[in-house]
Amino acid sequence: MLMRKSIETSYGTWESNFDEFPKYITALQASNPDTVVKWFHKPNDSSNVATFKYIFWAFGPDIDAFRLCGPVIFVDGCHMKGSYKGKLLVVVTKDANNNILHVAYVVVDEDSSHSWCWFLYQLRHFVAQDRKLCVISNRHQGIINAIENLQEWEEPLAYHRFCLRHIRSNFMKRYKNFSLKKLCWTIGSTTLKRKFVTNMREWCLLYDENRRWGILTTNISESMNNALRGARHLSIRACIDLTFNKTVQLFRKHSNVAMNCNIPLPSCMWHLFCNWDTRAQNHNLTKRLQNCYKVMDKWHRRKYEFVHYFQQTCTCGKWQIERLSCSHALSVFLYKGDNPLSIVNNVYQSISKASYF
C-alpha cells in the first residue's frame, strides 16, 4: 500500500495514467522522430471506449543503433506487479563493445502464443524489416510457436537458438549429476568438431552454422529485466517513461566512450584481439596447399589447426563465430605481412559504433 501511494504521488493514479495515455504517446512520438508505437485493442469490445490488450514501442534512436549491431537478438519477459496485471516482453541486443542495447518492448495482458506472435510481427515489420537475425531465447512455448508459425521468422530470415544455461538447467532437473552438468555445457559451447560428432544446432555452438556469434545464453535479456524491475510496479505510462529514461542514460554513458575511442576496435574487442595476437607469437605454421596453412602451438606440437586464408575460416571455429581473426589466423597474417584489421567485421569498427550516438 505504501509503495502504491508513493508511485501515485510521483506518477499519478493508475486510472489517470490510462486517461492521459493516448496524449502521452502522441507527445512521445512527436518529440522522438522514428519512434514506433503500435496498439492491439480487444476485439468486439461492447463499450464506447476501445480497450487495448497489447502495446508495442521502440524508440527511434534504438532502431537506428540496432541496424549497426550484430544480427543477434535476445527475447524474454517479466511479470508486471501493479494494479493491472500483465507482462512486459523485451527484445535486446549487444553493441560492438558488449553493452546492452534495448530494441523493443511490449506490454501484454498475458504471456501467450498470440501475444508473442503479435510482438514478433511488429518487431519484424517496424524494426528488423528484412534483416536476417538469430533469435536466442529460453524454450518458452509461446516463443517457439510464434517463430514456427510466422512466415516473417522462417529460415533464412531468422534462426532460432536456445539459451544453453536454460538447456543445462532443464537437463539437471532430470539428471542431478555435477559431471553431467559440466559435460552438458562443454558439449554446447565447444567449437571443435573433433570433440564430438552430433547435430544439436538449436543449442550447440559447433552445429549452429555461426548464427549466434558465439553467444551462449540469454543473460543479457535477463540483465535487462533486472534493470527494469522497478518498472514492473509502475502504471503503463510511467513504465514507458522509465524505459525511455533508461535509454537516454545508456546513450549518454556509451556516447562518451565511443566518441573518445582512440583504438581501432571497441575496448572489449580490442582486448580480445590483443590476447589472440599475443598467443599468435607462440604459433608455428607451414603451408599445406594454396592459401591453406597448418598452424601449430610451439609448446604442444600435437595441437594444431588449419587456416584457409581466403575463405576466412579456421578449424578452431573462432574466426567464423566471432567474426574476428583468431590467434591461428593472426599468425598467418603476420607471416604474409597483411593487416588483420582490414577484414574485421563492420560491427566491430569503432567508427561504426560512434556513428549511432
206 within 8 A of 193, measured Cβ to Cβ? yes
pLDDT for 72 equals 94
Confidence class for position 103, pLDDT limits 50, 70, 90:
very high
Q: What is the DSSP letter of 97?
A: T
231 within 8 A of 242, measured Cβ to Cβ? yes
Confidence class for position 228, pLDDT limits 50, 70, 90:
low
Tens of pLDDT along 161-191? 998 888 888 888 887 777 778 878 887 777 7
Q: Which of 72, 146, 49, 159 is nearest to 106 (CA)?
A: 146
145 within 8 A of 113, measured Cβ to Cβ? yes
pLDDT over 60 at 194, yes or no: yes
Domain ranges across the chain:
2-163+217-259, 267-355
If you average pLDDT over every residue of the chain, what do you get?
82
What pTM, to 2 d.p., does this model score? 0.78
pLDDT for 236 equals 74
CA quadruple 66, 67, 69, 72: dihedral, nearest 10: 80
Which residues have a Cβ under 8 Å from the Cβ of 1 and sit 6 or more positions away?
none
AA identity, residue 199: N
99 within 8 A of 250, measured Cβ to Cβ? yes
> Hey, CA dihedral for 177, 181, 184, 190, is it positive or negative?
negative
Tens of pLDDT along 338-347? 888 888 888 8
> How many residues are listed for the chain in this entry?
357
The enclosing H or E element of 78 equals strand 72-79
* Proportion of the chain above pLDDT 70, given as a percent: 83
